[in-house]
Amino acid sequence: MGLFCRFFADRRSRWWAICVALLLAGCAGSGHRHASQGLPEIPIQHRQEVVMTAMGLMGSPYRYGGTEPSGGFDCSGLVNYVFSQAAGAQLPRSAGSQAAASRRISRRELREGDLVFFNTLGRPNSHVGIYIGDGRFVNAPSSGGRVRIDTMDNPYFSRRFDSARTLFARR
């Protein structure tokens, strides 16, 4: 009987370890830096639409792999949905691929609707948010959370800031 219980206890432990690992993976993309995929630049007049669409999704639940309001969002799913709705842009699905498809800008060049990337899993571009101005961004933060506004100077995010990027045309 002891061997039987130990066998199932070990399987249960492995199952929980797998579940925890998946939850911790959050919305991570591949983290690899690829050459730009050459997406067409979005006209700058869509910036406010991007911000308003993102703000309208505040409170939506986090769901790993989520891509829509009814089921919830992960970080890259939120960005993908917002840009599709607000600007008709079809972005790559993962945070890493979104970074690769966008143009790097300096942090001081950030404007509303630009993307901010963070190293939250020990690899670049594993989390993404939409910059809304005044040092704030909208993101789907993690398992059990909801779409919310965070600040760039929040100690968690400021230590993990990776890059600022844009999909918008130059002025």
User: Catalytic site residue 27?
Assistant: no
- Per-residue pLDDT band for 151 (boundaries 50, 70, 90) equals very high
Q: What is the pTM of this model?
A: 0.79
pLDDT tens digits, one per residue of 162-171: 999 999 998 6
Among the listed residues 46, 75, 80, 125, the single catalytic one is: 75
Q: What is the predicted pLDDT for the residue at 16?
A: 43
Copy the structure tokens of residue 27.
């919305």
- Whether 125 is a known active-site residue: answer no
Compute CA 154 distance to the chain's CA centroid, rounded to the nearest angstrom. 17
Which of these is catalytic: 27, 80, 125, 127? Answer: 127
Sketch the domain layout of the chain as residue ranges. Answer: 27-166
Could you give the residue ranges of the DSSP H alpha helices within the chain?
2-25, 47-56, 75-87, 95-101, 155-160
Residue 11: the pLDDT is 52
The hierarchical CATH code for the domain 27-166 is 3.90.1720.10
Q: How much of the chain, in percent, has pLDDT values that exceed 90?
A: 74
Is a pLDDT exceeding 50 seen at residue 5? Answer: no
75 is known as an active-site residue: yes
